[in-house]
Amino acid sequence: MQLPIKVSEDSREPIYHQIETQIKTLIISGQLPPDTPLPSIRVLSHDLACSVITTRRAYQDLENKGLIKTVQGKGTFVKKLEGKDKDNEKLKIAMYTFEKAIQQTQQIGCTEEEIIEIFDKVFKQHFDQKGEME
């Protein structure tokens, strides 16, 4: 199985964290349902052209957070999340995404008022086009 993950060496975010965040998003969104087998650490590191150590760190962090489980001799699988755990993870991902966007807009010199105006504009455009949240 090949995961729809892209990493960027140009990002200020470490590659292991990029991998972890993207897999977490796939799990929380339901694109990777419970018991879905994940690629081995070696296969994923090859697919992403990064080191085995980097991929291992992402998997270890995901396992420590209770999102995946490794079964000796069988592989690594997505764990089933209970409703509250899934909601908490969803909130963490959303907050992280907004925090990152705010940091980037501040880095280019946007004021608080400009950031709010931009958010409102993007939010309205999204809902005008889609009619509902994706």
CB neighbours of residue 50 within 10 Å: 18
Burial code of 84-106, b = ≥16 C-beta within 10 A, e = fewer?
eeeeebeeebeeeeeeeeeeebe
With contact defined as beta carbons under 8 Å apart, do 32 and 26 qualify? yes
pTM of the model: 0.74
Looking at residue 96, what is its pLDDT? Answer: 87
Burial of 132 (0-12, 13-18, 19+ CB in 10 A): exposed
Distance of alpha carbon 55 from alpha carbon 40, whole angstroms: 9
Any idea which residue has 């690629």 for tokens? 39
Looking at residue 134, what is its pLDDT? Answer: 47
pLDDT tens digits in sequence order for the chain, 134 residues long? 789 999 999 888 999 999 999 999 999 999 999 999 999 999 999 999 999 999 999 999 999 999 999 999 999 999 998 878 888 888 888 898 899 899 999 999 999 999 999 999 999 998 887 655 44
What sign has the CA pseudo-torsion 118, 124, 126, 128? Answer: negative
Q: Give me the residue spans of the domains in the chain.
A: 15-78, 83-130
Distance of alpha carbon 53 from alpha carbon 8, whole angstroms: 17
Candidates 38, 34, 4, 24; CA nearest to 97 is: 24
DSSP 5-56: ----TTSSS-HHHHHHHHHHHHHHTTSS-TTPEEPPHHHHHHHHT--HHHHH
CATH of span 15-78:
1.10.10.10
